[in-house]
Structure 1
Amino acid sequence: MPSLPLLSFHCFQTQRLQRTPIFGPLLIAVTHGEKTLRIGERLWRCPAGSWLALRGPQRVELINQPDTASGTYQAWALGEQDGWLQRLHELYGAQLAGLGSSEPAQLFAPNASALHAFEQLLGLLPEAQAGSLRGARAEHAWQGLMLALAEAGQAGVLFNRRPLHWQERALHLLRGDLSRHWQAEELATHLAMSPATLRRKLASEGISFRRLLQDARMEQALGLVSASSEPLGAIAASCGYQSPSRFAAAFQRHYGMSPSQLRQTRETG
């Protein structure tokens, strides 16, 4: 991916999304309306002005509710770029020691330093390419954001250092081309192992090849349906579905809303 995963989500009608896949650390900043997060029996309510930090991998249920005054819900979702967290720990490991958290999610109000750093990052990311000077500036701004959060003792889940799991290695390859008709045998070849070994390693991490592929496709589909104007037929193809109807059925089963229903929530009526 040429730039840091950053998406802007908005809607004018309530969105209810079940089994939303969160593969890695994710920071959500709600600017209008309210987000409700459910993980098992636990509930987090994130009103406008609040931030929510989530660890991965996990599946969560989300409800995005527009506010009554403006009738709008809007939030930013900021993911993790390959290598950035590792370099942050290499530079500031001593200062960041002990900041990690085993919580599935953390809700907090950002301070002025974090808000300023986030605004700087938003100004750089849309055109930040990996390996470019602008990309380097974006990473520097991201480091400023993370250090501001660390100084405030917030968002500890974003600082967790973890080994590179096999599902992350597999996910990196799958994300490279989700339009492809992936089979476990082909993925195993790319990872220099037998299909049986791949299945065994994934099972040891609590996931199957089939579910990993499905979650990867649904993650990409949700971002494209929610945050782009790309036609649903094109989204279906880019996510590996041979027909829009099969894509719509899979999306409905996974999230509890069809792609067209989700798109309608973005319309003012």
Structure 2
Amino acid sequence: MQLEISSFRSKRPQPLRDVPIHSPCIMHVDQGVKQLVWENRTIAVDKSNLLIVPPRQTLTFVNTPAQGQYLARIVSFSGQLPPHITEQLFAATAQKAPSQPYNYNRPLADISPEVSHIWNTLITASEQNLDEQLLLHYSYGLLLMLSKSIDLSAIFLNRSDSIIDKVLQQFRWSPSHDWKISDVAQRMAMSESTLRRKLSQQQTSFRELLLEFRLCYGLGLLQKQHLSLTDIGAMCGYLSYDRFARQFTGRFGLSPNAYRKTNQ
């Protein structure tokens, strides 16, 4: 299991479409509101709840600042949960019917004082760059706390898309590398045809995953004001910034420059 904790800010309304979510994630909006299109309707995500997103989703939303600032934290889980955590999640589901089953029509969870405490502890530990194992410990505590009232088994247990996590992990080693399917297949000790078949079974392809990874990586880099747009394109694996900008705009409906300006 690997954990990624990200922060996203804006000072102006920030509309984005078709943002891919490859791994299960939990999001909290500290300030402002996320107007999220979900199941053909719009729901408001604010500081009173957590947004719990299953893997392999695409999100369309507008991040709307309050008092001049929007801030959201996202905790993403990739890979398989450790067996002892899996057992405890199963046990929590089996022992007590959750009072708030996960609802795919409204993927929000109310924040109890206990959940708020452990969430804040996790975020603070991340900001202080504490040991990764400690962050994982806090994140498992968060899942176990949520499992007391929400059935998370459909999201975090019995996942069949670990091949996607494994491919994305290869990309993370060097986001700017000119990745070829032959390189990744060799690193994963399988043939190209096997890798293509496994990805096809998950309704995706190597090319699509690489494109989504690069563009999402660019979203995070664009939050860093000290990096030039050209440098960000190169860090995402593009020799031409214009090509990066075209693909970014075509995917998200907002150019890299326009996206950056929402936080200036």
What is the TM-score of this pair, normalised by structure 1? Answer: 0.85
Deviations 1:136-195 (A, max 9, x none): 332222222222212233766654331353222222212221211112222222233332
Shift of 1:62: 1.8
Matches within 5 A, 1:250-265: 250-265=247-262
Gaps in structure 2 of 5+ consecutive residues: none
Q: What amino acid sits opposite 1:49 in the alignment?
A: S
Aligned match of 2:8: 9
Contact 2:90 2:153 in 1 (8 A): no
CA pair 231-8 structure 1, distance change in 2 beyond 3 A: same
Structure 1 residue 183 corresponds to structure 2 residue 180: yes
Instruction: Determine helix, strand or coil for the equivalent of 1:24.
Output: coil
Aligned to 1:36: 35
**Secondary structure of 1:48 counterpart:** coil
Deviations 1:112-137 (A, max 9, x none): 000011111112123546xxxx3333
Structure 2 vs 1, CA of residues 156 and 64 (structure 1 numbering), >3 Å: closer, same or farther? farther
Letter of the structure 1 residue corresponding to residue 55 of structure 2 = G
Q: 2:127 matched to which residue of 1?
A: 126
Q: Within 2, Cα distance between the matches of 1:241 and 1:175?
A: 15
Q: Is contact 2:23–2:77 with CA below 8 Å preserved after alignment?
A: yes
Say whether the 8 Å CA contact 2:164–2:199 is kept in structure 1.
yes
RMSD: 2.6
On the 8 A contact 1:8/1:227 being kept in 2, the answer is: no
CA separation of 1:80 and 1:224: change in aligned 2, threshold 3 A: same
Unmatched segments (≥5 aa) in structure 1: none
Q: Percent identity?
A: 28
Which moves more between the two structures, 138-147 or 56-65?
Answer: 138-147
Q: Deviations over 1:188-211 (max 9, x none)?
A: 222333323322221121011111
- Tell me the TM-score normalised to structure 2 length: 0.86
Amino acid at match of 2:111: P
SS in 2 for 1:8: strand
Question: Residues 37 and 43 of structure 1 are in contact (CA less than 8 Å); yes or no, is this contact kept in structure 2?
Answer: yes
Aligned partner of 1:52: which letter?
L
